[in-house]
Every structure is written in structure tokens, then in C-alpha cells.
């Protein structure tokens, strides 16, 4: 370890059972000035209780408007290793699946061109290559693309769509999150790399209402798997849960939000017309219950963090859509049409730095639906309006008057 690396405060973070990022970064400190000065600057932050990074900075690679977060130390003389410390966001593969061969390609590139530090992964889903100098950005990009990797988004663009493991390793998947994320990312390369929206646009896909990518909380467009027909039941397997002493009454029946489950003898009966597809019973008894056959996804729009109007969960716009063949680009026509109408309407009527969720709230759901050509449905609301302030558009005029 480098002699001049005195980090008594950070060293406290090497104690304890949870793996220490300090210990890990220290393994690079001998090889990488960046890693070392990052620790030294961080130590100063720990002393002074404040960050020492300058605000933003417009850097990037040729022809791309996003994918790089510029970052400069506020104390470049003291910590020259991090005087530049830009982030390169790289599209993760669908479902964050890798082989060691593939990941080693990235590691080699970043050891050569950057700090050798990463976030695996960023909150949006990208591989986040953490820290390099401006002059290394273009070479990093070239090396990445040569191996088949491309940059993610930043700024007012489409962000790298992300998706749960879905059909690749989950029995609950109601649609092909993996393939759909791939298809969307590829189709909208321009939207991803050249920020031209009012603000960022994040797409996340979860294969079922368990929502393992937090799509409903963290994406402007959440595609969440759902089914329309009945929950599939294997009564023999159900009986085994009872036989094994699993407390079906307390842990399943009593917890069903609509009380639509009844157990008679060793048989489970579900009133599917009242089931709200919450997943709880399926989660508890995966051997006995599974999602139906008529599968697809709901499209919810508008989740975001609180800045500025308060946090939003995404709300239902299209309660159900399905795609015939996820591998076939042509099958996506209905979806792509809708997405493009959404972007167009938002582009035309939204304001700068207005996320789609805030936009919908501002213009009203009714206007938004009309604008994108989607029919109103009770499935889009918790309940109809309770205030009487209705803008009527049809009214009668005196004969001769109109």
C-alpha cells in the first residue's frame, strides 16, 4: 500500500463483518493514483463532513449527448489523481447476466483507461465505470464498442431500460422482460444517446407484480407482468402444503387483500374474478399455484423521486397489453406506436425538466389519455372523482343558436 495513504477514519470502515469497500479499493491503491487519491479525498470528506466534488461538467464522447457524468475534484492540487473523475455509464446486458469472459473484457478496458473502480451496478441499471480523465473518454468508448458494448444514458434522454431476471430464471414471469429490454434498447439508440426529451425517461420491466426491479417506484415507464385468466392450481401440491403443516389460513387466506381464497378440505378455491393479482398466494405456495396462461403486461407511467412535486408511483395507463412473439420485432408495433405517441405528446406539451409523471398530473389524466389515444377505464383509477368540478364538453344549444 502506498506510503502516503493515511486514512485513519476510513480505516474504521475496514472493521466489521460486511465486506469493506475501503479494503477493496486499497487493493488498487498501489497501482492506481486515482484509487489512492479517491481514498485520500474521501478521508478529507470524513474529516470535514462534506464532499469535495465540483458541480457537473460537460464532457462526453463524440456524437453522444449522454452516458458520461463529468466530475472534477474541488481540490485538484491536493488530490491530483482525481482532478478528473468522470463516470462512464455502460449498458448492462438484459437481466445483468454475464459470463466471466465478457466481464473480463470490461475489466481490462477499465484497468487500462480508468480508475479500475465500478458501481456494479448503478441505480438505473448501467454498469457504472467510476472515474477517468477527459482524454480517456474517447479511447474507453472505442475499446468498449470494439468488444460490443455501448454507453448508457444521462441527461434528458432515454435511460438504459432494465429488467428483472424474468423468464431466464423465474416461474412468475408473465412476459419476456429480457428480450423486450433488449429490443427497446436497440430500437431507441438515438433517444438513448442524444438527449432531446424534456427530461430523463426511464423504462423498467418486472415480469410480475412482485416488481423485483422496483419499476413502479423508479421508472417513467413501468412494464409489469400480469395475467388475465385464472391462477393455475395444482391441488395435489396444495394438499402437500397443508400436510406439511403450513398455516394456509393465517399466512395465505387471511392475507389475501380481497379475501377471495377459500379452503375446503384439502382443496383451494380462488374467486379469480375478485383476485387483484397481488401475487401473495403464489409467492407463498410456488409449487401449488402459478400465474395464468393469458399473460402480458400493464403499462404504468410516471414514477419518480420527490424533486420537485413530490415522489410518484407510476400509474396505470394501459391495464393490459401482450406481444405475440417477443423475438419478432414486428410484434412490437402496438407497443412502439404507443411509446412514440407518448413521447410526441410529452415533447409537444411538456416543459423542460418536467418528468412524464408530473406532466400527466399537470395536464390531467383525461387530457393525457386523449392525447395519446388511449380509452379511459376504471382500471386507471383507484376510484372515480369525488369532486363535482367537471368540464363538460357536450351541451345543448337553443335551436338556431348553434
- How far apart are the C-alpha atoms of 133 and 71, rounded to whole Å? 9
> C-alpha 108: how far from its chain's center?
27
For the bound state, the minimum distance from the C-beta of residue 10 to ligand SRM, rounded and expressed in Å, comes to: 19
161 Cβ contact list (under 8 Å, min separation 6): 125, 181, 184, 185, 202, 203, 204, 205
Interface pick for a copy of itself out of 80, 286, 310, 373 (rule CB under 8 A): 310
Residue 202 binding result from ligand SRM, other proteins, a copy of itself, none, given CB thresholds of 5 to 8 Å by partner type: ligand SRM
Stretch that binds ligand SRM, among 37-45, 101-109, 165-173, 375-383 (CB under 6 A): 165-173
For the bound state, the minimum distance from the C-beta of residue 357 to a copy of itself, rounded and expressed in Å, comes to: 14
Q: Is 16 in the site for a copy of itself (CB under 8 A)?
A: no
Number of Cβ within a 10 Å radius of residue 271 = 13
Give the N- to C-terminal CA distance of the chain in Å, as an integer: 87
Closest CB to ligand SF4 among residues 256, 316:
256
For the bound state, the minimum distance from the C-beta of residue 389 to ligand SF4, rounded and expressed in Å, comes to: 8
Helices 333-349/365-372 angle, 10° precision: 130
Interface pick for a copy of itself out of 236, 262, 311, 381 (rule CB under 8 A): 311
Residue 363 binding result from a copy of itself, ligand SRM, ligand SF4, none, given CB thresholds of 5 to 8 Å by partner type: none
Closest CB to ligand SRM among residues 18, 395:
18
- How far apart are the C-alpha atoms of 247 and 240, rounded to whole Å? 12
Helices 33-48/21-29 angle, 10° precision: 140
Contact 266, 238 (CB under 8 A): yes
Contact 153, 200 (CB under 8 A): yes
Closest CB to other proteins among residues 255, 266:
255
Interface pick for other proteins out of 319, 331, 336, 341 (rule CB under 8 A): 319
Size of the site for a copy of itself (CB under 8 A): 7
Residue 322 binding result from other proteins, ligand SRM, a copy of itself, none, given CB thresholds of 5 to 8 Å by partner type: none
Q: Is 306 in the site for a copy of itself (CB under 8 A)?
A: yes
Contact 89, 69 (CB under 8 A): yes
Contact 331, 318 (CB under 8 A): no
For the bound state, the minimum distance from the C-beta of residue 87 to ligand SRM, rounded and expressed in Å, comes to: 5
Closest CB to other proteins among residues 265, 394:
394
- How far apart are the C-alpha atoms of 11 and 182, rounded to whole Å? 42
For the bound state, the minimum distance from the C-beta of residue 373 to ligand SF4, rounded and expressed in Å, comes to: 29
Draw the binding track, 146-175, toward ligand SF4 (x: CB under 6 A; -: no contact): ------------------xxx---x-xx--
For other proteins, the binding residues in 186-245 under the rule CB under 8 A are: 186, 189-190, 192-193, 209-214, 216-218, 224, 226-229
The sign of the dihedral angle between the CA atoms of 150, 155, 158, 164 is: positive
Q: Which value, to the nearest 10 degrees, does the dihedral of the CA atoms of residues 73, 74, 76, 81 take?
A: -20
Closest CB to ligand SF4 among residues 44, 280:
280
Residue 388 binding result from ligand SRM, a copy of itself, ligand SF4, none, given CB thresholds of 5 to 8 Å by partner type: a copy of itself
Is the previous residue joined to 121 through a cis bond, with omega within 30 degrees of 0?
Answer: yes
DSSP string, 194-244: S--SSS-B-EEEESSTT-TT-HHHH-SEEEEEEESSPPEE-HHHHHHHHHT
CA angle 93, 94, 97 (to 5 degrees): 65
For ligand SF4, the binding residues in 270-289 under the rule CB under 6 A are: 270, 275-282
Contact 204, 161 (CB under 8 A): yes
Closest CB to ligand SF4 among residues 125, 346:
125
For the bound state, the minimum distance from the C-beta of residue 322 to a copy of itself, rounded and expressed in Å, comes to: 34
Contact 164, 206 (CB under 8 A): yes
For a copy of itself, the binding residues (CB under 8 A) are 306, 310-311, 386-389
For ligand SF4, the binding residues (CB under 6 A) are 164-166, 170, 172-173, 206-208, 210-212, 225, 256-258, 260-261, 270, 275-282
For ligand SRM, the binding residues (CB under 6 A) are 56, 69, 71, 87, 89, 95, 119, 121-126, 128, 152, 164-165, 170-172, 202, 210-212, 214, 218, 283, 304-305, 307, 355
Amino acid at each position: 500500500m502506498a506510503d502516503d495513504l493515511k486514512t485513519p477514519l476510513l480505516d474504521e470502515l475496514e472493521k466489521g463483518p460486511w465486506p469493506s469497500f475501503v479494503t477493496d479499493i486499497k487493493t488498487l491503491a498501489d497501482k492506481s493514483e486515482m484509487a489512492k487519491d479517491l481514498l485520500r479525498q474521501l478521508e478529507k470528506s470524513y474529516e470535514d463532513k462534506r464532499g469535495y466534488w465540483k458541480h457537473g461538467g460537460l464532457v462526453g464522447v463524440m456524437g453522444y449527448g449522454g452516458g458520461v457524468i463529468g466530475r472534477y475534484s474541488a481540490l485538484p492540487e491536493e488530490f491530483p489523481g482525481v482532478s478528473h473523475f468522470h463516470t462512464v455509464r455502460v449498458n448492462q446486458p438484459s437481466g445483468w447476466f454475464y459470463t466471466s469472459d465478457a466481464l473480463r473484457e470490461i475489466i481490462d478496458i477499465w484497468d487500462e483507461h480508468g480508475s479500475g473502480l465500478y458501481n456494479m451496478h448503478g441505480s438505473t441499471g448501467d454498469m457504472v465505470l467510476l472515474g477517468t480523465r477527459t482524454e480517456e473518454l474517447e479511447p474507453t468508448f472505442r475499446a468498449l464498442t470494439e468488444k460490443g458494448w455501448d454507453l448508457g444514458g444521462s441527461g434528458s434522454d432515454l435511460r438504459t431500460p432494465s429488467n428483472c431476471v424474468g423468464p431466464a430464471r423465474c416461474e412468475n414471469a408473465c412476459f419476456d422482460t429480457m428480450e423486450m429490454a433488449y429490443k427497446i434498447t436497440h430500437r431507441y439508440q438515438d433517444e438513448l444517446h442524444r438527449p432531446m426529451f424534456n427530461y430523463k425517461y426511464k423504462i423498467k420491466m418486472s415480469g410480475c407484480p412482485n416488481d423485483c426491479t422496483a419499476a413502479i417506484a423508479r421508472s417513467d415507464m413501468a412494464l409489469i407482468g400480469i395475467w388475465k385468466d385464472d391462477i393455475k392450481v395444482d391441488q395435489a401440491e396444495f394438499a402437500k402444503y397443508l400436510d406439511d403443516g403450513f398455516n394456509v389460513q393465517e399466512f395465505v387466506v387471511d392475507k389475501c387483500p380481497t379475501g377471495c381464497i377459500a379452503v375446503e378440505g384439502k382443496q383451494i378455491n380462488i374467486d379469480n374474478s375478485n383476485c387483484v393479482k397481488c401475487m401473495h398466494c403464489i409467492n407463498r405456495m410456488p409449487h401449488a399455484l402459478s400465474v395464468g396462461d393469458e399473460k402480458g403486461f400493464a403499462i404504468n407511467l410516471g414514477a419518480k423521486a420527490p424533486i420537485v412535486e413530490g415522489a410518484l408511483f407510476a400509474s396505470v395507463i394501459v391495464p393490459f397489453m401482450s406481444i405475440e412473439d417477443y423475438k419478432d420485432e414486428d410484434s412490437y408495433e402496438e407497443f412502439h406506436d404507443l411509446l412514440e405517441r407518448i413521447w410526441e405528446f410529452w415533447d409537444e406539451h411538456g416543459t423542460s425538466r418536467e418528468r412524464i409523471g408530473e406532466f400527466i398530473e399537470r395536464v390531467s389524466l383525461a387530457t393525457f389519455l386523449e392525447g395519446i389515444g388511449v380509452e379511459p377505464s376504471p382500471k386507471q383509477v383507484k376510484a372515480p372523482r369525488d369532486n363535482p368540478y367537471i368540464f363538460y364538453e357536450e351541451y345543448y344549444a337553443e335551436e338556431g343558436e348553434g
